[in-house]
Structure 1
Amino acid sequence: MEDTSTFLGLGHLFMTIFLYGFSAFISAPVITDVSMAALCPGKDECSLAIYLSGLQQAITGVGSLMMMPLVGSLSDKHGRKSLLTLPMTLNILPLATLAYSRGTTTFYVYYVFKTFTSIVCEGSVFCLALAYVADNIPEGRRASAFGILTGISSCAFVCATLCARFLSTAATFQVATTMAVLSTVYMRVFLPVSIRDHSLIVVPSDKLSCDLLEDFPGHKNRVLRSIRSVREMASLMRSSVPLSQVALVSFFTSLGEAGLHASSMYYLKAKFHFNKDQFADLMIIVGAAGSISQLLFMPILVPVLKEERLLSLGLFFGCAHMFLISVAWSSWVPYIAALFTVVSIFPGSCMRSIVSKQVTSYEQGKAQGIISSICSLANVISPLAFSPLTDWFLSERAPFNFPGFSIMIAGFTMTIAFIKSLMIRATTPMSDMGLP
């Protein structure tokens, strides 16, 4: 009976992540065109759009750096479902803004909403979902379960991108807003509390509200709370060598991926004149490859290769993906490079699984929050380097003709992550503390 309830709970979690991912991903193919139409109408190059995107990424990264360990720790204390409500609700605001209008003034309103809501939303929903899975799945099966969760997210990416491919820009944001509302309602109505939540000490609702007020930024003690979160993060990092190694790999991986994300769309638009439909086609290939890999191949490969080797293999193909895009000589090359996602999708789930095995069941949220925080730190640093670099090499001021130079630098950053991953020692799983 308990196994059945656990299975149903995970099913509802997967549906929640699918709906949320759909609402978040459907705008991805069109946001570049919307940004450039609002900021630089009729142009294929726009320095303002590149720098605003980088600024947004940096602000979000700084905020997330402090928020992720806090959100993870709060979920250990108050439950995963309670903490999921805030980011999923905030996700509605920026989408609703562009659903209303996409003029220049409205775009700046969206930009402000998106920047500050992303401080809480960016990565927190997936982080909490990982902690929820860890609550309900034994150590030996977590890597596959994390892979399935990532696969579900990739499926949402594919479905959302397919819809964006055939919808108008206005309809795209209307659908995104509707799905964001639906995902929040579905989570609140159907998602059961996790097994870990059942072991929490029940406190009166007024006491819980007081605790949340004390813990979240905005309270008079928020600076002290943030310092305490950083200290807890450092202490937990020092407690496990594999955890420290994974954190380092996670930083360089995220730095490379953030560089690719910051540069690739503007690069492809400037060099090959990609538009919304071509971006969507490319994203469909990436999402489909990732979905098939996570749902079918990863459960087979993890028992054979283990997480550490699969992590290194995925990072190697991630490097190859970036290097190939950076030297693309024709518009079909990025589509071929996208197929590398079949293998390059593995690192995220592998790192999360290794981290999960290094901590007790009472620290899953904190541990996943720490890794998300480290990824956010990379997102702070990335735009400082890649936004000016992208703008420089896409402009007429470039010292030499190499439009994909910033993406190649991102590839070298990923190479560092690959080399570091080879040093990760075999994990020593900790007790599941009585979990099934």
Structure 2
Amino acid sequence: MGKRGEREGKMEGLEMGELIHLLTTVFVSGFAGFLTTPAITDVTVAALCSPGADECSLAVYLSGFQQAAIGLGTMVMMPVMGNLSDKYGIKALLTLPMALSIIPPAILGYKRDRDFFYAYYISRTLTAMVCEGTVDCLAYAYVAENISEIKRISAFSVLAGVKTISSVCGTLAARFLSIASTFQIAAVSWLIGLVYMRVFLKERLHDHGDDDDDGHHHHHGEHHGEDHPLAEPILKDTPAAKARVFNKNSSLKDIISLMKTSTVFVQALVVTFFSSFSDSGMQSAFLYFLKARFGFNKDQFADLMLLVSIIGSITQLFLLSILASAMGERRLLSLGLLMEVVNTAIVSVSWSAWVPYLTTVFAPGAMIVMPSVCNIASKQVGPGDQGKAQGCISGVKSFGKVIAPFVFSPVTALFLSDDPPFYFPGFSLLCISLSSMIGFIQSLVIKDDPPPSSNQTINPSSEEEGVNSTYR
């Protein structure tokens, strides 16, 4: 026991600093991803619509279809990637998505006529089905595995903050680069990120701790990568640890059993669905709405995204933890959803081109929701099931992403076309606002956790639960 305490003390000082290579990898891949976002609407409309047009239904539909396909792919791939990373290690699993991500921007960096656009479109859809979000998902798993529970929430918010800073830098660069060089630089950035990750990222932070820990590993046979002295010091032979090795591949069963044990977990999943449904709807509708309604182009998109990213990163890095401790996660979650409702409702009736800029003050709403949901969910399960719980959330999030384009793309295309049923260009945005409203109403009924004593049946390791309740 003394030895463990001493080793943990030694590690805690190191932990945050040691994440630097992971954070750099997340930053570079985020930068590459965000660099191309402001330009892609322009490129799509230029390649697909008649010369000089600001919108056409084909562009909206194709983008929507791509989003749905990617969502479907990630819904299937995320849990698989998570499982494989436990088996083969994080580095091996990061290599594939980062290498594949180089291809699509390289195509558009070379040429952007209709044929090249279709080549990009197909390669982007196929690669993103495997890659989209994998870097983030595996980064969260890496932190959860290597960072002690007390520090995990701050590590998660640093991770989210770095991601947002990468979006600020990527968007800023996109604002000043030409469209061709945006895609070229994005391809090069993916390559640099891949090489950096292979060279510098350690498979696990504390390999040196393994020798005092040999006995611990014998309990679990070859599942060497996932039990880590720090992640589960209390869990030598608890039922949870045994059950986890046993249940390794029955993911649907896991989801159902998690849902049976905790109502709060189910409510968190409902909120996740509606929040992701709305976000994804915004993705398929918002930029096309601005282009058709006010003739926005790459530079204005970049300005707008930049504002959102700056406000968002301030929120994540400085306000999120302060607000969470002041209000509690549940109230914070409701506040975030309410801000999303107001934001989309106002944008939907934009009477002038400055309105979308003004509503960026509500941007923190979207940034608050997912960290709060993930935190609420993680408190509903024992340490052995964290991966499953976050996998569940990711799955439901992807499901929302898949469904949204089928609903919102046709509505967007219809109301932006020349003969809408009635004049309301932002009608799809109003529908998105209503979807956030359902999530908001659901978040209001989430109850506070039962005290740890009643949790004991679910949670063999209530020591950990005790730590949590102190930090609530």
Query: Which of 113, 118, 135 is equivalent to 2:128?
Result: 118
Q: Does 1:31 align with 2:53?
A: no
Q: Structure 1-normalised TM-score?
A: 0.89
Query: Which of 232, 244, 259 is equivalent to 2:254?
Result: 232
Corresponding residue of 2:379: 357
Q: What is the SS of the residue equivalent to 1:43?
A: coil
Contact kept? 1:250, 1:374, Cα under 8 Å: yes
Contact kept? 1:72, 1:368, Cα under 8 Å: no
Relative to structure 1, the CA distance from residue 234 to residue 93 in structure 2 (aligned partners, 3 Å threshold; closer, same or farther) is farther
Q: CA deviation at 1:34?
A: 0.5
Relative to structure 1, the CA distance from residue 252 to residue 315 in structure 2 (aligned partners, 3 Å threshold; closer, same or farther) is same
Relative to structure 1, the CA distance from residue 355 to residue 11 in structure 2 (aligned partners, 3 Å threshold; closer, same or farther) is farther
Corresponding residue of 1:3: 12
Q: What is the SS of the residue equivalent to 2:380?
A: coil
Corresponding residue of 1:256: 278
The letter for the 1-side match of 2:112 is R
Once residues 335 and 322 of structure 1 are traced to their aligned partners in structure 2, the CA distance between those partners, rounded to angstroms, is 12
Corresponding residue of 1:406: 428
Contact kept? 2:18, 2:205, Cα under 8 Å: no
Query: Which of 376, 392, 398 is equivalent to 1:376?
Result: 398
Once residues 30 and 280 of structure 1 are traced to their aligned partners in structure 2, the CA distance between those partners, rounded to angstroms, is 8
Once residues 298 and 50 of structure 1 are traced to their aligned partners in structure 2, the CA distance between those partners, rounded to angstroms, is 34
Contact kept? 1:138, 1:432, Cα under 8 Å: no
User: RMSD between aligned alpha carbons?
Assistant: 2.6
The letter for the 1-side match of 2:115 is T
Relative to structure 1, the CA distance from residue 62 to residue 344 in structure 2 (aligned partners, 3 Å threshold; closer, same or farther) is closer
Give the aligned length.
Answer: 417
Q: What is the SS of the residue equivalent to 1:27?
A: helix
Once residues 354 and 246 of structure 1 are traced to their aligned partners in structure 2, the CA distance between those partners, rounded to angstroms, is 7
The letter for the 2-side match of 1:74 is L
Once residues 244 and 150 of structure 1 are traced to their aligned partners in structure 2, the CA distance between those partners, rounded to angstroms, is 24
Q: What is the SS of the residue equivalent to 2:447?
A: coil
Once residues 227 and 13 of structure 1 are traced to their aligned partners in structure 2, the CA distance between those partners, rounded to angstroms, is 27
Query: Which of 89, 94, 100 is equivalent to 2:110?
Result: 100
Corresponding residue of 1:216: none
Corresponding residue of 1:367: 389
Deviations 1:106-130 (A, max 9, x none): 1111111111111111222212212
Corresponding residue of 2:230: none
Relative to structure 1, the CA distance from residue 157 to residue 29 in structure 2 (aligned partners, 3 Å threshold; closer, same or farther) is same
Deviations 1:306-334 (A, max 9, x none): 22211111111011111111011110000
Q: Does 1:275 align with 2:297?
A: yes
Q: Does 1:312 align with 2:322?
A: no
Once residues 201 and 87 of structure 1 are traced to their aligned partners in structure 2, the CA distance between those partners, rounded to angstroms, is 29
Q: Does 1:246 align with 2:268?
A: yes
The letter for the 1-side match of 2:438 is I
Once residues 233 and 78 of structure 1 are traced to their aligned partners in structure 2, the CA distance between those partners, rounded to angstroms, is 23
Query: Which of 328, 339, 350 is equivalent to 1:328?
Result: 350
Q: Which moved more, 1:237-246 or 1:150-159?
A: 237-246
Q: Does 1:290 align with 2:312?
A: yes
Q: CA deviation at 1:292?
A: 0.5
Deviations 1:391-436 (A, max 9, x none): 0000122111100000110010011111111122224686559x9x
Q: CA deviation at 1:104?
A: 1.0
Q: CA deviation at 1:366?
A: 2.8
Q: Which moved more, 1:367-376 or 1:329-338?
A: 367-376
Deviations 1:343-384 (A, max 9, x none): 431111111222223334443333222211111111111111
The letter for the 1-side match of 2:30 is G
Corresponding residue of 1:210: none
The letter for the 1-side match of 2:37 is A
Relative to structure 1, the CA distance from residue 250 to residue 23 in structure 2 (aligned partners, 3 Å threshold; closer, same or farther) is same
Contact kept? 1:127, 1:365, Cα under 8 Å: no
Q: CA deviation at 1:204?
A: 11
Q: Does 1:153 align with 2:156?
A: no
Q: Does 1:391 align with 2:413?
A: yes
Once residues 319 and 47 of structure 1 are traced to their aligned partners in structure 2, the CA distance between those partners, rounded to angstroms, is 26
The letter for the 1-side match of 2:34 is F
Relative to structure 1, the CA distance from residue 271 to residue 423 in structure 2 (aligned partners, 3 Å threshold; closer, same or farther) is same
Once residues 379 and 82 of structure 2 are traced to their aligned partners in structure 1, the CA distance between those partners, rounded to angstroms, is 16
Q: Relative contact order (alpha carbons < 8 A, sep ≥ 6): 1 or 2 greater? A: 1
Relative to structure 1, the CA distance from residue 279 to residue 384 in structure 2 (aligned partners, 3 Å threshold; closer, same or farther) is same
The letter for the 1-side match of 2:359 is A
Once residues 359 and 69 of structure 1 are traced to their aligned partners in structure 2, the CA distance between those partners, rounded to angstroms, is 17
Query: Which of 339, 344, 349 is equivalent to 2:366?
Result: 344
Once residues 69 and 153 of structure 2 are traced to their aligned partners in structure 1, the CA distance between those partners, rounded to angstroms, is 32
Q: Which moved more, 1:284-293 or 1:422-431?
A: 422-431
Q: Structure 2-normalised TM-score?
A: 0.82
The letter for the 2-side match of 1:38 is A
Q: Does 1:22 align with 2:44?
A: no
Deviations 1:251-301 (A, max 9, x none): 000001111111000000011100000000000000000000100111222
Contact kept? 1:251, 1:374, Cα under 8 Å: yes
Q: What is the SS of the residue equivalent to 2:331?
A: helix
Q: CA deviation at 1:228?
A: 4.1
Q: Does 1:89 align with 2:111?
A: no
Task: Mark the runs of 5 or more structure 2 residues left unpaired by the alignment.
Answer: 1-9, 211-216, 226-246, 453-461, 468-472
The letter for the 2-side match of 1:308 is R
- Structure with larger Rg: 2
Once residues 242 and 78 of structure 1 are traced to their aligned partners in structure 2, the CA distance between those partners, rounded to angstroms, is 33
Q: CA deviation at 1:38?
A: 0.9
Task: Mark the runs of 5 or more structure 1 residues left unpaired by the alignment.
Answer: 206-224
Contact kept? 1:135, 1:196, Cα under 8 Å: no
Contact kept? 1:88, 1:121, Cα under 8 Å: yes
Contact kept? 1:144, 1:298, Cα under 8 Å: no
Q: CA deviation at 1:76?
A: 3.4
Q: CA deviation at 1:26?
A: 0.5
